[in-house]
Copies of this chain bind each other. A is one copy, B any other.
Amino acid sequence: MDSKFVIYNTRSRKKETFQPINEGLVGMYVCGPTVYGDAHLGHARPAITFDILFRYLKHLEYKVRYVRNITDVGHLVNDGDEGEDKIAKKAKLDALEPMEVVQQYTNSYHKNMNDLNVLPPSIEPTATGHIIEQIAVVKQLIDNGYAYESQGSVYFDVRKYAADHNYGELSGRKIEDMLVNTRTLDGQGEKRFGLDFALWKNAQPEHIMKWPSPWGMGFPGWHTECTAMSAKYLGKRFDIHGGGMDLMFPHHEAEMAQAKACYGHDNVNYWMHNNMVTINGQKMGKSLGNFITLDQLFEGTHELLEQAYDPMTIRFFILQAHYRSPLDFSNTALQAAEKGYQRLMQAIQNIDSLTPSKQSTVDIKGLQDKCYEAINDDLNTPILIAHLFEGVKTINLIKEGNQKATEEDIQQLKDLFQNMAINILGLRDCVEGDQQADVLSGVMDLLLEIRAEAKANKDWGTSDKIRDQLKEAGLAIKDTKDGAEWHLL
């Protein structure tokens, strides 16, 4: 079935059948977080999108090497070549060493990813951990004539590159249009041309994060790390590069240009980009007051939230949209997702209690084919989920006796949900712990009612027995003027 797996390639702007470079092996690289603040909704979407891809490729029995980096230096405020390093700025604000900031937010990112059931990548390299490799890339670019040193910094020569290749190929931009949006004029400052971007930046003496280089003390430009680290761990040509649409320009455009200028050929076969999230129809932004972190979402502690949302609700909600479509978060939409998710999980639990028949009136194989068709079509998770809900309907009809399924079909149904919902969509049952508490609460209501009746009937034997045995079980009951209450001992 893997031969039919189709991916939308941002570069070609069409769907292409996925064909790995080396049979049975897939190399994929995804841009991870810049660790200077808590992970928010904008981090959840790419992480989950490429987690589905990772899981599906493994399901197809590829051996996958998934590299997702941690940007811990070089990403400047405003994503350009000027201004402070995001991490150094945060470290200054919090009076910490930059690597303490990095550690804190790397840890919280990992925790959030684990909450969202996002699998850890095979390798999670850091920018500061690959300075030598980045310096080698910059040297190569200078040697190849695509980069120049200027006052201790090194810039990529976009005009030179554009003469030989197509700068703007990935993002679909034209140099003339891009120039309008740049504030740097040619020949002014360190750059020869307004669109040139930094490969290595000269560090002022007060900079904390800096390393020796052939051009003096400095630090890498933001785009250099991904070129260096993808080549180190996946080779100079690998299968898939993913990331959020917001990274397409300048970050991925620059990566593509760097690789071509280094090796003379593309390093990526399939470029994939997930679309953005909005909140109540608005772009997320600190100034708009709608910047919601994942922790706030899980705890319900942001003023825009009507309740806490379980990480699985968030995951399910994100998967209900196709990754290339925009996605709007609202309480109404999340609450609907919560219900849908619980309905799905309940149905999965119900499979175990179905009674097999000698004959089937349902077509599980047909359902399975439709599920694979959906996921094979550029990871169309919303269509896949729609098919799973058909399956939910089938499960409930069998349960009610209105449809029949053989033991074999029930097993196939179970395997299908296990594969699609649990293994590939990565949903996990979150109700277990709560369920036990709910059940205990319901059972105790009943017992206290029985005890109240016994007392009303002056059946002290029974009422005392209930109190004593509950105490033995680890519960205390207390009679109040509003009736009996209980608590765990």
Contact = CB atoms under 8 A, between A and B. Distances in A.
A472 B440 contact: no
Given A439-B474, A439-B488, A447-B443, A100 B129 contact: no
Contacts of A123: 97, 99-100, 102-103
Contact of A474 (B99, B122, B435): B435
Interface in A92-106: 97, 99-100, 102-103
A120 interface: yes
Contact of A442 (B103, B438, B469): B469
Q: How many copies does the complex hold?
A: 2
Contact of A211 (B132, B437, B445, B475): B132
A489 B350 CA distance: 8
Nearest to A104: B122
B132 A120 contact: no
A80 interface: no
Interface in A461-489: 462, 465-466, 469-470, 472-475, 488-489
Interface in A113-169: 120-126, 128-132, 136
A65 interface: yes
Contacts of A488: 435-436, 439
A20 B377 CA distance: 62
A440 B442 contact: no
Contacts of A472: 442
A185 interface: no
Contact of A103 (B120, B349, B436, B445): B120
A466 B131 CA distance: 69
Interface string A403-439: 0000000000000000000000000000001011111
B446 A100 contact: no
B97 A124 contact: no
Contacts of A440: 436, 439-440, 443
Given A103-B122, A124-B103, A132 B129 contact: no
A361 interface: no
A450 interface: yes
Given A439-B474, A442-B469, A472-B442, A97 B233 contact: yes
A172 interface: no
A126 B126 CA distance: 10
Interface class of chain A by DSSP? helix
A355 interface: no
A96 to B, nearest CB: 8
Contacts of A443: 440, 443-444, 447, 470, 473, 475
A107 interface: yes
A404 to B, nearest CB: 22
Contacts of A437: 436
A212 interface: yes
Contacts of A475: 439, 442-443
Contacts of A433: 433
Contacts of A129: 126, 128-130
Interface in A359-399: none
B126 A103 contact: no
14 contacts: A103-B121, A129-B129, A132-B132, A136-B212, A433-B433, A438-B473, A440-B440, A442-B473, A443-B473, A445-B469, A446-B469, A446-B470, A446-B473, A450-B462
Given A99-B125, A131-B132, A441-B473, 17 more contacts: A102-B123, A103-B120, A103-B124, A110-B110, A129-B130, A132-B211, A136-B212, A438-B473, A439-B440, A439-B488, A440-B440, A442-B473, A443-B473, A446-B447, A446-B473, A450-B462, A450-B466
